[in-house]
Amino acid sequence: MPTIRKAELRDVPELHQLINHYAAEHVLLPRTLDDLYEHLGEFTVAEENGELLGCGALKLYSRELAEIRSLCVEARLKSNGVGRKIAQSLLSDAERLGLKTVFALTVAPAFFGKLGFREVAREQFPTKVWQDCLRCELYTACNEKAVAIDLVPRQTLEAEYACESAGAPS
């Protein structure tokens, strides 16, 4: 059973190797070592017996919006639930921060659909997102789909539950 945790400095070389493996397959955008060190706080990893199994990042854009990016797992572990656990941890982080919406640009919209995301128009996201797109060699032939999930803060759910439990209309 892998441990899901925030990334640490010692993880950066393995993060770099894992992400850039998928970048070579045109599934993810490449990340430099400098970029990974600079944005290390965004990353969550899955680890088992000292081995990095997967990663994902939650990039904040505003008080209400974030993106899940660089989500990947070791190829031999696809469909083993590791990616789902990382994504769920990132969504929990987003919820804890009080974000309203989390989106992703992905070639695997069905994976995100299983987590409650829906396909949306990519034009609704900040122009900051397009800075990454402009650097992508597939910019003119992009096959990514935009997906998003609206989060309901736990406080709202707890308040509704308390009202229902007390017999009050919610």
- Whole-model pTM: value is 0.82
DSSP 8-state secondary structure symbol assigned to residue 81: S
Q: Across 23-32, 35-44, 105-114, 117-126, which has the greatest mean pLDDT?
A: 35-44
Distance from C-alpha of 147 to C-alpha of 133, rounded to nearest angstrom = 16
Average pLDDT over residues 97-101: 95
Quick count: other Cβ atoms within 10 Å of Cβ 117? 24
**What are the boundaries of each domain within the chain?**
3-165
Cβ-count burial 47-81 (b if 16+ within 10 Å, e if not)? beeeebbbbbbbbeeeeebbbbbbbbbbeeeeeee
Fold of 3-165: Aminopeptidase (3.40.630)
**pLDDT, position 145:** 84
